Amino acid sequence: MSLPLQDRVALVTGASRGIGAALALELAKQGAQLVLIARTQGGLEEVDDQIRAATGRGATLLPLDLQKDAEKQLDLVGPSIMERFGRLDILVHNAGALNKLTPVAHIDPKDWAEVMAVNLTAAWRLIRTCDPPLRASDAGRAVFLTSGRVLRPKAYWGMYGAAKAGMEHLVQTWAQEVATTPLRVNLADPGVVATRMRATAMPGEDPASIPQPADVAPALAALCFPAETRHGERIEIG
């Protein structure tokens, strides 16, 4: 019996740790061929080792900084995937940047630039570069991870919340533009998960007391299945 994602080509950003790493492993277990993006080569290699151990085949690793390397390298990802695989079946933009929790009036321009680059601008560039290979798939699926902070603004979270809100608007607009194609585009809010970003924001919280990345990975992976028909929706996982 074939797996749900047998030989499907999947691109995952922020794949060196946390939710991205757990999701990459889950997608691989479901049969997908992975293309993984993250800043650290070492982190990507660790995830690749896990994928090889679980499935017997490795991933394509792309060590990219979504802020510093975007214009020169991220724009080439889509054409490169198209040249190698002929299509892209799955895009998951998981990478995110929190930076500092600070009053809106005290946001540093450099911090603002980083958070917007990773959470919002990278989403635009990924859509721009991956739209053609996703349309070449018979069942393209795109999932962008978002945050409950968009719906529930909170003091000191303005920079992160604004970036994610902008990303949500961009993604839902794109979803309308591709509604007549086989491509399905959705937002996914994983809820509270024990990630490094969560630990930065909530340093006094016991990470063992909240869901782990592996706990939400199966539900996120299911959004990438050809059988998934929802489109343009904001789906809460946790």
Task: Say how far apart CA 112 and CA 92 lie, in whole Å.
Answer: 23
The one catalytic residue in 85, 144, 157, 160 is 160
3-state helix, strand, coil in the chain (%, to 5): 50, 15, 40
**Start-to-end C-alpha separation, the chain:** 30
What single DSSP character describes residue 121? I
Tell me the three state secondary structure of residue 234: strand
160 is known as an active-site residue: yes
Task: Say how far apart CA 215 and CA 217 lie, in whole Å.
Answer: 6
Structure-token match 């603004």, residue found: 153
Are residues 167 and 119 in contact, defined by beta-carbon separation less than 8 angstroms?
Answer: yes
Tell me which H or E stretch contains 10.
strand 9-13
31 by Cβ neighbours in 10 Å (0-12 / 13-18 / 19+) ranks as middle
The residues assigned a catalytic role are 160
